[in-house]
Structure 1
Amino acid sequence: MLQRKEGNAMNVIERIQEKYGDMTRKQRVLADYMLENPDSMSFMTMKNLSGRTQVSEMTILNYCTALGYGNYNELKYEFRKYINERNKIEVQRQNEYLNASVPEYELDDKQNLLYQVCQEEFDLLKLLFAHIDIPSLFQGAEMMLDADCTVFCARGVSLQIADFLSMRLATMGLPSIVMNTELNDSVQSALPLLKGGTLLVPISLPDYYVMTTKVCEFARQRRCRILALTDSKEQSPVAPFGDLVLTAPASSRLFLNSPGGLLVLAHLLSAALNIEKSARHTSKFCSPQEFSQVFTKKMKGSHGNSKIF
């Protein structure tokens, strides 16, 4: 049983810190890595941890026991629990921007204020189209066509763009899933797909989310190709991981970001995808047609009538 602290069970970070003084040299190597990389620990395999720290798997298992956990899976569970609790605290701490009110001095002329917002949105789109890179859109389309599967990785407003692109791929017979990086189960279920042949598409707008970035880091280790959709090559933390980075401006005065530009960019990417797909004469993308045949196939019943199953 874990000790109690002020009536509440210690989280895994507190537990490691409490035991640190009594650890062996190799256990401290493990502790230092875990304290510096709590997000990665929530999904890292024991083999990967062993490789990262140059500590044997048996030592890792013994360390789990020393911390009071029955096995490595229990340790990972505690890290997932810690990350979930930390994220709840972060959301509460950052909630002021979610509920931010418009300053009083801006409310004297509400219609003019909204007109200004419209103009700013229009200017964002003008900026997008002024710098649109058509060859890069086709390059992104080719990455999707060549992938065995596309994994979209997003949260918040960006998640809606991921759902939109996944729907577009579905209509073209291309396999994809959407990973919500705010949901641990969603992350865990998609991780096995991150391997050679898979394309990861992180979609990231401010405020940039650490788990989206960590998934990119993990995908790079697994030799996935990465097509990043974001607002800035210089500022976005997912940009350095991208084999290709497509950007759209997203600044907004009333909210943390505006998804309009990135949604238009996603639409143009899907248009390039449709054009490129149409130019390829292959049976790779015929699953929707094959599935429709299941419903249109006629089976003769009594009196020569057709039945549809």
Structure 2
Amino acid sequence: MTTTSAADRESKGDLLQRIQERYGTLRKSERIVADFLRENAGTRLDSSITELGRTLGVSEATISRVSRALGYDGYPDMKLSLAEGTRNRANAYVNIPPEIDGSDSLVTTSDKLATLLISGLAGTQRMLDAQRLELAVEALVKARKIVFVGVGGAASICDEAAHMFIKAGFDASAYRDGYTQTIMAATLGASDVMVGISHTGTTDTVARALKLARENGATTIAITSDADSGVARAGNVSLTTWSSTQPLVPLHGDFLEGRISQLFLIDLLYVGTLFRAGARTAETLQKTGAALEKWYRRGGESA
């Protein structure tokens, strides 16, 4: 079988573009292969089709189907395209996925962004540890006080988390500065829970707050993409979000897929906690809902 030339491959779109256009038509097992290719675009793949299948837990036939679905002559041709990767796609904006190009129309950008975020959620779902999730929900259900800590983009997720848990009747709060995070960690005890959120897992204030809260007997839950990071190690329970291989540049905007994955896990913990807590949370949500409806009908702040 002949191998397609680089010019022919380019005329049909690079690897990332092909995955973007065809991702929705792939089967679940085929998306595992597509996710791997997208995350490793621009790198040389030395594995044989058998070795890659073993690594990803899929069959050789699945990899071959993906090759054909993406418009390649076969696995060798797809490997060459993987090595070429994103070298011709310049993106001046750090932390923006390389699949999104400034020359795209807004509709195209919308389609690409939706696919990327869905892929991030699917990756986070695949990495969920059922036992850890159960432990986290159990701790939240029993908590006297729940404290969420994060900085930057993660702080916004913490605010949303506290808002949801408060409406369900939990004593919940969120803090975004190291000074207050430290104070709160020092006051927590065995009946309390601190949830720390950091995409990279290297946010020192969050790691230290979790560590202090844990030393004082509180249950700590870490949400991060790096299972070996300081934030992850400071948690009694660590939940891992999906992460791209694209380098993250601190202080230059947030990693889009990481933010949506964090919110996904918070929503999952919230729903799980509601169901486990039972009638008391359902009643509280009805009360807070009725109170807010009355407040809005009276004009809110102007009342």
TM-score (norm 1): 0.52
* 2:160 is equivalent to residue 164 of structure 1: yes
Root-mean-square deviation (Å): 3.7
Give the Å deviation of 1:246. Answer: 1.2
Map 1:44-193 to 2 at 5 A: 100=94, 106-111=101-106, 112=108, 115-182=111-178, 184=179, 186-187=180-181, 189-193=183-187
- Check conservation: 1:138, 1:273, Cα contact below 8 A: no
Shift of 1:212: 0.9
1:252-301 deviations in Å (ceiling 9; x for gaps): 969541201111111111111111011xx7x7997778999999xxxxxx
Q: Look up the match of 1:203.
A: 197
Q: Give the whole-Å Cα distance in 2 for the aligned partners of 1:153 and 1:233.
A: 18
Match of 2:230, SS state, is coil
Structure 1 runs not aligned, ≥5 long: 1-97, 296-309
Shift of 1:136: 3.3
- Higher relative CO (Cα under 8 Å, sequence separation at least 6) belongs to 2
Aligned sequence identity (%): 18
Larger Rg: 1
Matches within 5 A, 1:281-300: none
**In 2: Cα distance, 1:107 partner to 1:199 partner:** 43
Asked whether 1:241 is paired with 2:234, we answer yes
Contact conserved, 1:137 with 1:268, CA < 8 A, in 2? no
Distance across 2 between alignment mates of 1:284 and 1:262: 23
- Report the alpha carbon displacement of residue 189 of structure 1 after superposing the two structures with TM: 4.6
Instruction: Specify the code of the residue in structure 2 equivalent to 1:180.
Output: R
The reply to whether residue 214 of structure 1 matches residue 208 of structure 2 is yes
Q: Output the amino acid matched with 2:134.
A: F
- Rate the CA distance shift 1:293–1:168 in 2: closer, same or farther, 3 A: closer
Please give the secondary structure, in 1, of the residue aligned with 2:273: helix
Given residue 266 of structure 1, which amino acid in structure 2 is its aligned partner? I
Q: 2: CA distance between counterparts of 1:125 and 1:293?
A: 33
Higher strand proportion (structure 1 or 2): 1
* Structure 2 gap ranges (5+): 1-91, 293-303
Say whether the 8 Å CA contact 2:201–2:225 is kept in structure 1: no
